[in-house]
Amino acid sequence: PSDSQQSSVHIDLVLILSLLVLHPSALPILFQEEMLNKEATEGEAVTLHCKLSKSAPVEWRKGNMVLKPSEKYKIEQEGPFAELMIRDLDLADA
């Protein structure tokens, strides 16, 4: 082709929308309310609370040790609300 002739190219772009459906069970579990530091007196009890974005099992730990319900620890959960009560506090509970 000569310089005066131009070839035209027609390109059709097609946009295909894909729909992503998330199921509630696939969403990550997040803290809605995180635990706050608390001060308490030795020998008394303290209660720690947290709220999750949805109901899920909660495991309470101190370091690597998993806390289990006992005379020392009271653990309760109702839906997304979890609570740990530590009774008869001593310095080792910090």
CA 69/CA 52 separation, integer angstroms: 20
Q: pTM above 0.85? A: no
The answer to the question of residue 61 being in a domain is yes
CATH number at residue 89: 2.60.40.10
In a domain, 2, yes or no: no
Give residue 2's pLDDT. Answer: 53
75 inside domain:
yes
Q: In this structure, is residue 29 part of a structural domain?
A: yes
**pLDDT recorded at residue 56:** 87
User: Nearest CA to 46 among 28, 73, 11?
Assistant: 73
Q: In this structure, is residue 26 part of a structural domain?
A: yes
Q: Which domain holds residue 37?
A: 21-93
Does residue 61 or residue 2 have the better pLDDT?
Answer: 61
Determine the straight-line distance between the first and last CA of the chain, rounded to whole angstroms: 85
**Residue 25, φ and ψ in degrees, nearest 5:** -70, -20
pLDDT single digits (tens) 23-39? 566 678 887 877 777 88
Number of domains making up the chain = 1
- Asked if residue 6 is part of any domain, the answer here is no
> What is the tens place of the pLDDT at every residue in 11-69?
555 555 555 555 566 678 887 877 777 888 899 999 988 898 888 888 898 888 999 99
> Is the dihedral angle over the CA atoms 56, 61, 65, 69 positive or is it negative?
negative
